[in-house]
């Protein structure tokens, strides 16, 4: 099985370095233009099954890259809810004691009124389990943090930050017997 994980295109949050996950931001025009340009120069893997999160930026990206293919919305693929930190930059937050406390132990600690990275990872892996069990090639257009959480779990040895992707890029994971065994960067540059 080939499982392709693609991060959505550029939004206002990406452009301005905001913590945003639960906020349902659309793609920026420049994000759409970048996806269209990359599609001209790269090959995005196709599959019989397509999945997105419930947020519009993933569904817009899917349509830009794959057209009007049928897809399934998976609630568990939504991005991390940053709670009180949503739509704020590190610069805005660097004096906030709650942010500083969360930053020191962010993997297990929930953002005030939000989630933890560990919680997002558990949620995303549970949402992915039936897709892996089905064993059919699939494309998931989802979020950078969600992809990083899964890759960090499946392929230990790298820092979490090493799994973060530029918008519109991702990984193609080879799955054998329901378990991810290897990966390559996606989309592919034609030879």
pLDDT in tens, the chain (191 residues): 999 999 999 999 999 999 999 999 999 999 999 999 999 999 999 999 999 999 999 999 999 999 999 999 999 999 999 999 999 999 999 999 999 889 887 677 899 999 999 999 999 999 999 999 999 999 999 999 999 999 999 999 999 899 999 999 999 999 999 999 999 999 998 87
Number of domains comprising the chain: 1
Cβ neighbors of 68 (< 8 A, separation 6 or more) are: none
Residue 174: give the domain boundaries. Answer: 2-82+116-186
Residue 163 domain flag? yes
- Residue 181 within a domain: yes
pLDDT at position 16, please?
95
- Report the pLDDT value the prediction gives residue 143, as an integer from 0 to 100: 98
What tokens were used for 182? 């290897």
* Residue 29, domain member (yes or no): yes
Whether residue 75 contacts residue 165, with contact meaning beta carbons closer than 8 Å, is answered with no
DSSP conformation letters of 71-128: -EE-GGGPPP--GGGTTEEHHHHTT-HHHHHHHHTTTTSPPTTS--HHHHHHHHHHHH
Identify the pLDDT of residue 191: 75
Residues 14 and 154: their CA atoms lie apart, in Å, by 25
Domain-embedded: residue 110 = no
So what's the pLDDT on residue 105?
A: 76
- CATH label of the domain that carries residue 44: 3.40.50.1240
Does some domain include residue 34?
A: yes
Per-residue burial over 42-56, b if 16 or more Cβ lie within 10 Å, else e, is eebbebebbbbbebe
Tokens of 164: 């973060």
Residue 89 counted as domain residue: no
Q: What pLDDT is recorded for position 60?
A: 98
Instruction: Give the model's pLDDT for residue 108.
Output: 79
- Phi first, then psi, for residue 97 (nearest 5°) are -55, -35
Domain assignment present for residue 54? The answer is: yes
Whether 61 is covered by a domain: the verdict is: yes
CA distance 81 to 84: 9
């Amino acid at each position: 099985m080939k499982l392709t994980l693609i991060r959505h295109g550029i939004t206002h949050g990406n452009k301005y370095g905001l913590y945003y996950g639960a906020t349902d931001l659309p793609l920026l025009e420049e994000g759409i233009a970048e996806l269209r340009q990359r599609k001209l120069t790269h090959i995005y893997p196709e599959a019989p099954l397509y999945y997105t999160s419930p947020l519009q930026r993933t569904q817009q990206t899917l349509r830009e890259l794959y057209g009007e293919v049928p897809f399934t919305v998976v609630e568990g693929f939504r991005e991390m809810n940053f709670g009180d930190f949503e739509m704020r930059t590190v610069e805005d937050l660097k004096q906030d004691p709650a942010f500083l406390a969360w930053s020191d132990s962010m993997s297990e600690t929930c953002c005030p009124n939000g989630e933890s990275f560990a919680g997002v990872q558990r949620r995303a892996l549970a949402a992915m389990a039936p897709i892996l069990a089905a064993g059919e090639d699939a494309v998931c257009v989802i979020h950078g943090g969600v992809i990083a959480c899964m890759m960090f779990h499946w392929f230990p040895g790298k820092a979490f930050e090493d799994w973060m992707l530029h918008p519109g890029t991702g990984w193609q994971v080879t799955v054998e017997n329901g378990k991810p065994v290897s990966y390559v960067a996606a989309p592919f540059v034609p030879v």
